[in-house]
Amino acid sequence: METIRLGSVGAGFVANFHAVALKSVRGVELAGVTAPVGAEELSASSKANGLGDCTVYPSVAELCKHCDAVAVFAPNFARIEIVEEIVEAVKAGAQLKGLICEKPLGRTIADAKRLVALAKEANLPTAYFENQIFMKSIKNALMQLAPAQKAMGPIALARSAEEHAGPHEPWFWDPTQQGGGVLSDMACHSIAVSWYVLTPVGKPANFLEPVAVTAETSLLKWGEAKYRKDLLERMGVDYSKTPAEDFCTGMVTFRNPDTGQLVKGQFTNSWMYDKQGLRLFMDGLGPGYAFEVNTLKSPLEIFIGDVAAEAVADAETALEKATASRGLLAVQPNEADLYGYVDENVDMREAFLAGKDAYLNWEYGLEITKLVQAAYLAAERRQTLDLTDPGIQKELDSYTSLIAQGKGAEVLFR
């Protein structure tokens, strides 16, 4: 079997999640890593799990010389500089088959456009890693409902949510580093999922045209004095000065270019979901049929009483972002597969070996960035934005949200 040698730029949370996923993927070897923090640990676990030698390299340039595909699993603020280094390495002779970037592609539309241009400059196929579209539950729902969709008409309303109690690293909380709050961090997933499930069976991922966006951003928990103090102490981020939204909701309206039908994707995301841990919730409603996914429902149920709880070292062994280690716990035995990481890596491998873009490429990532940024602008203006208006599109091209500029108080405290 032909193997792709994968190189990881970054060795934090998501790089380790992908490493778990790779245990279930044939023909991908974790060949190397470069990262200021965590590289040795990722290398050791990769070797222990038979995923590959995962050599630690001192630079992006060195990594590129020893792998076939490079994955940018580093923080959002480091994307452009890293991809510039990759492009330089390719120009210097590195033989790459493809470039991967985790969500969100850019912190702004200008950032995302720059990344698309860099990949073109290197003439490399790309993969935009949006795992939730690859969730087996979503794929199966659409497959099961395909005949009903053909007979009755497409899904007309999709609702999608990703929620947890808050990110694990300070840079996520700092809107000037991350590019915003939960809208930038997690609505990018939910908007993509809705766009995907609303798309008529057999049509490409960008078939439906986004025509309007409305959104609200709020600071519901982490702006309160008690929690603001906690955040400052734990993460060093001061939400009295540079707040980001911990809740967002909104709606994207899409138009079917063949029929003119308008369909709606509603998103809701929060960093104040103080329940068992990460919850992905999606549903889709078509005429006469529907589906629903809730990742907190598991066939496995665990109970740990107070006395036994002393023995549980890490709540996150049960579930990503789990906040409790006792009581009735939601436990997912294979989160990497459940959330779609396995299948997105399979898709990437097949595409890159065939010399093609993955199912979702960086141009698609740019479209998602546009929708996220349009949602910020809609929330700032308290207006529904008409995305077919060339004036709005032009404005968005150079737009940085007030929240991402560190001026979130103007939006969130009004």
**d(Cα 123, Cα 87) in Å, to the nearest integer?**
9
Distance of closest approach, residue 175 Cβ to ligand NAD, in angstroms: 14
Of 31-39, 199-207, 237-245, 304-312, the segment contacting ligand NAD by CB under 6 A is 31-39
Among positions 191-230, residues that touch ligand NAD (CB under 6 A) are none
By rule CB under 6 A, what count of residues binds ligand NAD?
21
Print the binding letters for residues 151-190 with ligand NAD: x by CB under 6 A, - otherwise: ------------------x---------------------
11 forms part of the interface with ligand NAD (CB under 6 A):
yes
271 forms part of the interface with ligand NAD (CB under 6 A):
no
Member of 12, 52, 175, 180 binding ligand NAD (CB under 6 A): 12
Of 12-20, 194-202, 268-276, 283-291, the segment contacting ligand NAD by CB under 6 A is 12-20
**d(Cα 263, Cα 275) in Å, to the nearest integer?**
31
**d(Cα 412, Cα 246) in Å, to the nearest integer?**
10
Sign of CA pseudo-dihedral 59, 62, 66, 72: positive
Q: What value, to the nearest 5°, has the Cα angle with vertex 168 and ends 20 and 331?
A: 50
Distance of closest approach, residue 344 Cβ to ligand NAD, in angstroms: 9
| Residue 122 per-residue DSSP state | T
Of 3-11, 198-206, 238-246, 363-371, the segment contacting ligand NAD by CB under 6 A is 3-11
Q: Residues 6 or more apart from 22 whose CB is under 8 A from it?
A: 6, 28, 30, 51, 345
**d(Cα 194, Cα 305) in Å, to the nearest integer?**
39
Distance of closest approach, residue 190 Cβ to ligand NAD, in angstroms: 11
Which H or E run includes 79? Answer: helix 79-91
76 forms part of the interface with ligand NAD (CB under 6 A):
yes
63 forms part of the interface with ligand NAD (CB under 6 A):
no
Reduce the DSSP state of residue 168 to 3 states and report it.
coil
| Cβ 121 vs Cβ 94: under 8 Å | no
Nearest to 380 by CA among 337, 342, 409: 409
Distance of closest approach, residue 40 Cβ to ligand NAD, in angstroms: 11
Neighbours of 247 (CB within 10 A): 21
Member of 4, 56, 69, 82 binding ligand NAD (CB under 6 A): 82
**d(Cα 54, Cα 39) in Å, to the nearest integer?**
9
| Cβ 98 vs Cβ 352: under 8 Å | yes
Of 20-28, 67-75, 247-255, 387-395, the segment contacting ligand NAD by CB under 6 A is 67-75
Member of 23, 27, 36, 229 binding ligand NAD (CB under 6 A): 36
Print the binding letters for residues 101-140 with ligand NAD: x by CB under 6 A, - otherwise: -xx---------------------------x---------
**d(Cα 169, Cα 73) in Å, to the nearest integer?**
14
| Cβ 194 vs Cβ 267: under 8 Å | yes
Shorter beta-carbon distance to ligand NAD: residue 8 or 218: 8
Of 11-19, 195-203, 252-260, 360-368, the segment contacting ligand NAD by CB under 6 A is 11-19
Q: Site residues (CB under 6 A) for ligand NAD?
A: 9-15, 35-38, 73-76, 78, 82, 102-103, 131, 169
